Amino acid sequence: MTKTVRPADVPPNEFYRYMIGTIGPRPIAFASTIATDGTVNLSPFSFFNLFGYNPPTLVFAPTINRHGHKKHTLLNLEEVGEVVINVVNYAMVEQMSLASAEFERGVNEFEKAGFTAVPSDLVRPPRVAESPAVFECVVKQIIASGEGPGAGHLVICEVVAGHFHEAIFTEKGTVDPHRIDLVARMGGDWYCRAQGDALFEVARPQTGIGVDALPVNIRNSAILSGNDLGKLGSISALPTADEVASFKESGALTELFDEARNGCQYLPDLLHLRAKNLLVERKIKEAWLTLLAR
C-alpha cells in the first residue's frame, strides 16, 4: 500500500514533516556569519550539500522561521556575503544543538555553545576550531524559493579555503569516515551517526550487464533481494560455459547437489541461498558461477 499526499492538500508544516522524515540523513552546515557591525552568528542548517567542485560549490538554505522572519544567518549574508561552513561530528553535536536555540540577534553563539572562534584566512566570519573540516566561502547568489514561514533561500557559495584536522586522514591521505565521525539530521529530534555498522562500502561499477539482463529465474527469485540483483547486474559479462563447467567439476557445489538428490531441498533454492551468502562477501563472480551451475 502507498500513502499519497499532495502538498496542496495539507498545511506546509505537515508536508514538511513527511520530507524531513524521509529525506535523510542530511549533512549539517554549521554556518558562521558576520554582520556589518561585527557581531557574529553561528547556526546549523540541514538543508545543505555540495553541488560541484569546479569551482568547489556548497549550497545551504536558511528558511523563513515560523514567525515569518528571516533567520539571523540570512540577514548577515545579505549584509556581508561571506560564510564559513563548519562540518559537524559526533564530538560536537550537543554543542551544535545548543547553538540552534533562538537567541536574539547579536548574541554570539560561539560563546553560548562553548566553541572556539578562530580567525579565517580569506573571509570575515570566524571558523569553529572544534570542527574537523571547515570551508571558507564567498556567497555567489541567494535565491528565494517562496514567501512566508518555511520558504527557503538557497545560498550558493564558492569555497575559497578549506581547513582539515590532520586526525581525520588515513596514512594514504584520504579522509577516513571512521575518524571524522560525522553526524547528520533525520526527522524530528533524530540524528544519525556515521560510525560502526552504519558505514559500509558499495563499489561503483564502471559498466554492468544490468538487472534487465539477468536470467528470468534469477531476476524473479524469491530468495535474492533487490540489493543482491544490483550486485549481480554490476558484472561486465556473464561467466562462460567453460568457466561454469570447471566450477562444477571443482566440487565446490557437491554438497548442495547431494542434498538435492537426497530430496531434502530444492536445488535452485539451495543455489540461490549459497549465492546470496557469497554476495554478502561481495564474491560476485563466484555467486554467478553458483547460480549458473544448475
pLDDT digits (tens, 9 = 90+) for 190-233: 999 999 999 988 888 878 999 999 999 999 999 999 999 999 99
Q: Which residues of 104-114 are buried (b: 16+ CB within 10 A; e: fewer)?
A: eeebbbbeebe
Average pLDDT over residues 130-155: 95
Burial class (CB in 10 A: 0-12, 13-18, 19+), 38: exposed
* Residue 268: cis peptide before it, omega within 30 degrees of 0: no
The 10s digit of each residue's pLDDT in 16-67 is 999 999 999 999 999 999 999 999 999 999 999 999 999 999 999 999 888 8
Ordered alpha helix ranges (H), 148-253: 177-180, 216-219, 226-233, 241-249
Q: Which three cell numbers stand for residue 251?
A: 566440487
Rounded to 5°, the CA angle 177-179-185 comes to: 60
CA atoms within 13 A on the CB side of 105: 14
3-class secondary structure per residue, 175-189: ECHHHHCEEEECCCC
The 10s digit of each residue's pLDDT in 240-293 is 999 988 888 887 787 877 777 776 668 888 889 888 999 999 999 999 998 988
- CB 250, CB 257: distance < 8 Å: no
Nearest Cα neighbor of 92 from 140, 133, 46, 138 is 133
pTM: 0.86
Note the pLDDT of residue 263. 67
For residue 110, name the pLDDT band (cuts at 50, 70, 90): very high
Output Rg (C-alpha) for the chain, integer angstroms. 26
Q: Which three cell numbers stand for residue 60?
A: 545551504
**DSSP label of 87:** -
